[in-house]
């Protein structure tokens, strides 16, 4: 899937709020940097952590409620 489409889908999962999406990506990217395993089939050494986070959000694996609770 093209990155533009992934971003559009992820944005819908973030209530169409760019600020919320950026917070979700930042938080998940930090978790990945600290050793969390990706929820999608991805190699952390070959993909940017922000791209992995975007794909996870677009797939619905990371939800807004989960980010707020932490």
When pLDDT is cut at 50, 70 and 90, the band that residue 5 belongs to is: very high
Of residues 70 and 35, more confidently modeled: 35
Amino acid 55: pLDDT? 95
Amino acid 39: pLDDT? 93
| pTM of the full structure | 0.86
Give the total number of structural domains in the chain. 1
Phi and psi of 68, rounded to 5°? -65, -40
> What is the rounded average pLDDT of the residues 28-48?
93
- Domain range for 55 is 3-69
Phi and psi of 21, rounded to 5°? -60, -40
Within 10 angstroms of residue 52's Cβ, the number of other Cβ atoms is 21
Would you say 25 and 54 are in contact if contact means Cβ atoms under 8 Å apart? yes
Would you say 13 and 60 are in contact if contact means Cβ atoms under 8 Å apart? yes
Q: What tokens does 9 get?
A: 């889908």
């Amino acid at each position: 899937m093209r990155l533009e489409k992934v971003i559009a889908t992820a944005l819908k999962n973030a209530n169409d709020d760019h600020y919320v999406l950026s917070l979700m990506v930042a938080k998940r990217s930090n978790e990945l940097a600290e050793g969390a395993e990706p929820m999608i089939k991805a190699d952390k050494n070959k993909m940017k952590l922000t791209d992995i986070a975007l794909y996870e959000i677009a797939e619905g694996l990371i939800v807004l409620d989960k980010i707020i609770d932490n």
